[in-house]
Structure 1
Amino acid sequence: MENGSRISGDRRPQVGVAVFLLKSSSILLGRRLSSVGYGTFALPGGRLEFGESFEECARREVKEETGMDVVRVEILTVVNMVALDGPDPTHFVTIIARAEMADSGQSPANMEPDKCAGWAWYEWAQLPQPLFGPLEDLLKGGFNPFAASRLM
């Protein structure tokens, strides 16, 4: 760290996994209620647990947050987001995945109402605003989950 840094103590980057669930020309997004990104729209996802693969994390987080089961998890890209503003600076390395619903008849349920205001499908051409920072940065860079190739 440089001298004069606003970050004190041992602040290590966290690893997260975010999952694009696609349905026709729509993606699943939820409005965040947590302090990081409050009020923004984000993909289902969360922190990688010790010993867990990226694919296992994607399946677990989608199930915990939406109640839905997914299959065919693909790792698409990675986002490195450092947010030094605010009272609690964060640094997340987020693995971006795409997965298919195990059953196309599943509907998302809000399994964590303390963290999310609810899940809905949004047309790719008309995404709600504001988007969660890492998602917004990814899309500004031209990323398209419908056309993305597998990274790994």
Structure 2
Amino acid sequence: MTEHSNARPVIGVGVLVWRNKQLLLGERIDKKQVNCWQFPGGHLEDNESVIACARREVMEETGIKVKNLRHLGYTDDQFEVAQKKYITLLVSCEYDSGEVKVLEPEKCARWQWFDYRSLPSPLFVPISHYLAQITAVSQSVKVAGDLYALHCSSRVLTVAPSGERR
């Protein structure tokens, strides 16, 4: 058993910001996973709801406003470099207003809109794990294989570390 295995997990929030059928992703440059693409997001603060955190993080990182926020699912990941376990709560929302800007240049080189069917690579670990898991269970959940259909549905797909649907 590793020393960090008994530490409490860090709770993060990842935000899928949709504009039409495009998703906003940023090129990550911080230490956890350099040169990959991530959704806006960050750590959940004490006494903060997941939705409030999602709204705050999008504004702090990009300067834009979002609307129609809803829970999408979660991932359970171990980051060996940071020696931390992360539970990432995913929120889906729609772009509302504002100009996308890089407001945390120490963490993100740029923001870019991508067609959801042609996402860049590599993706940040929680994103790639979530996409792999929704694809793996797509036969039992009709909309799960299509990220945009999942965003538009009322379903919440929760992904356990083993890949089983909850």
TM range (shorter): 0.7 to 0.9
Displacement, 1:9? Answer: 8.7
Q: Distance in 1 between matches of 2:128 and 2:73?
A: 14
Aligned-residue Cα RMSD (Å) equals: 1.8
> Hey, what does 2:88 align to over in structure 1?
94
- The correspondence for 2:51, drawn from 42, 48, 55, is 55
Q: Distance in 2 between matches of 1:8 and 1:47?
A: 19
Structure-to-structure mapping, 1:1-152, within 5 angstroms? 5-8=1-4, 11-83=7-79, 85-86=80-81, 88-103=82-97, 106-141=98-133, 142=135, 143=144, 144-148=146-150, 149-150=153-154, 151=156
Displacement, 1:55? Answer: 0.4
| 1:18 maps to amino acid | G
The answer to whether the 8 A contact 1:70-1:99 is kept is yes
Displacement, 1:98? Answer: 0.7
Please, what TM-score do these two structures have when normalized by structure 2? 0.80
Indicate the percent of aligned positions where both proteins have the same amino acid.
32
The answer to whether the 8 A contact 2:74-2:130 is kept is no
Please, what TM-score do these two structures have when normalized by structure 1? 0.87
Displacement, 1:8? Answer: 4.6
| 2:96 maps to amino acid | A
Partner of 2:3: helix, strand, or coil? coil
Partner of 1:72: helix, strand, or coil? strand
The answer to whether the 8 A contact 1:98-1:145 is kept is no
Q: Gapped runs of 5+ residues in structure 2?
A: 136-143, 158-166
- 1:117-141 Cα offsets, whole Å, 9 max, x none, are 0100011222111000110111112
Displacement, 1:81? Answer: 0.9
Q: Distance in 2 between matches of 1:135 and 1:120?
A: 16
Displacement, 1:10? Answer: 5.9
Structure scoring higher RCO (CA < 8 A, sep ≥ 6) equals 1
Q: Distance in 2 between matches of 1:40 and 1:107?
A: 22
- 1:46-83 Cα offsets, whole Å, 9 max, x none, are 00000000000000000000001112210011111123
